[in-house]
Amino acid sequence: MLLRILGTAAGGGLPQWNCACPGCAGARRHPSRRRLHDGLAFHGADPGAWFLANATPDVAEQLESHPGLRPGNAQERTPVVRVVLTDAELDHTLGLPRLREAARIDVWCTEPVHKALTARLPLTDILSPYTTLTWHDLPLDGSGPPAEIAGLEVSALPLSDKRPRYAADEPAHPAWSTALKVRDPATGTRALYAPALASWSDPLGDAISGADCVLLDGTFLDEDEPHRTGMSRRTATEMGHLPIQGPEGTAARLQPDGARIHYTHLNNTNPLVDPCDPAHERLAGLGLRVAEDRMVVSL
């Protein structure tokens, strides 16, 4: 199994167009610090068969950044694009209209996410004049066999009922926000992708313990970061993201035990967007790293 890390930034990217915080200013001065919206591409044994974990507003640039995701010389178009969604947030779904040049787009998602994207954001109606958009149920972990997508087994681990703002009045459901569990049946290797994590749970801890590679929510470094930087009156947890540091933070709960654990989905206010920030060294001492755009992980 191969993981191509397409982007590692939270909503707005880095730099964010309307922001002059230290993180955004630093990314403008140092282009190497720029980060695209958080997303992944997964390959199985067949390098020509892959799927996207989320479709971000940067999806076209992200696909172009990896030669393995471009059409072959004898192939004028990519006939099918497969997308698996962790949630219905705009920064994870706005790339779907950008993929309209594909002959077909297959999307796997949970029930509440499907409802939001077809009723609140009528994507089927919008895209039907351009391409064939086909929706598939994304199985919840433990509820039945996983979906077989591009030679890999994929299921959703429910994390929270955090809804996107445009669907805030929709009914609660535990699978509004999920982690993706991906297994390569050919090798038995496992990956876990959880870009939004509102609370810790025993099933999540078990999934992390059983994974060979984990891409985990690193939106905020500490609980008070949103309030301290002036971006929100809420704390990190109140915004639906467990912080990295602190007594309730994820770093204190993680035990790598040989697994590769990388933080992703970094907000522009997060000091970790500066590669010289001392928090990198503290995390490295715990066996934890920050994911970088265009990284490739082979399992």
Q: How confident is the model at residue 231 (pLDDT cuts 50, 70, 90)?
A: confident
Percent of the chain's residues with pLDDT above 90:
88
pLDDT at 75 over 90: no
Helix (H) / strand (E) containing 146: none
Closest CA to 159 of 141, 178, 172, 142: 178
Average pLDDT estimate for 160-181 = 96
Q: Which amino acid is at 261?
A: I
pLDDT at 135 over 70: yes
Q: What is the pTM of this model?
A: 0.95
Average pLDDT estimate for 275-296 = 96
Tell me how far apart the alpha carbons of residues 185 and 116 are, in angstroms, rounded to a whole number: 32
Residue predicted with more confidence, 46 or 172? 172
Query: Domain 2-293 belongs to what topology?
Result: Metallo-beta-lactamase; Chain A (3.60.15)
Average pLDDT estimate for 233-242 = 91
Q: What is the pLDDT of residue 241?
A: 95
Q: Which residues are 80's β-sheet partners?
A: 104
pLDDT at 73 over 80: no
Residue 250: exposure state from Cβ atoms within 10 A (0-12, 13-18, ≥19): buried
CA distances from 210 to 48, 190, 253 (A): 27, 7, 15
- H helix runs in the chain, sequence order: 22-29, 59-64, 90-93, 95-98, 111-115, 123-127, 202-209, 225-228, 279-285
Tell me how far apart the alpha carbons of residues 113 and 186 are, in angstroms, rounded to a whole number: 30
pLDDT at 162 over 70: yes
Tell me how far apart the alpha carbons of residues 33 and 68 are, in angstroms, rounded to a whole number: 23
| CB count in 10 Å sphere of residue 283 | 22
Domain ranges of the chain: 2-293
Q: How confident is the model at residue 255 (pLDDT cuts 50, 70, 90)?
A: confident
Q: How confident is the model at residue 233 (pLDDT cuts 50, 70, 90)?
A: confident
Tell me how far apart the alpha carbons of residues 86 and 195 are, in angstroms, rounded to a whole number: 8
Phi-psi domain of 286 (left: phi exceeds 0; alpha: psi -120 through 50; beta: other): alpha
Question: What DSSP string runs through 210-259?
Answer: T-SEEEEE-S-SSTTHHHHTTS-SS-TGGGT---SSSTTSSTTT---TT-
- Which range has the worst mean pLDDT, 64-73, 151-160, 215-224, 271-280? 64-73
Residue 45: exposure state from Cβ atoms within 10 A (0-12, 13-18, ≥19): middle
pLDDT at 80 over 70: yes
Percent of the chain's residues with pLDDT above 70:
98
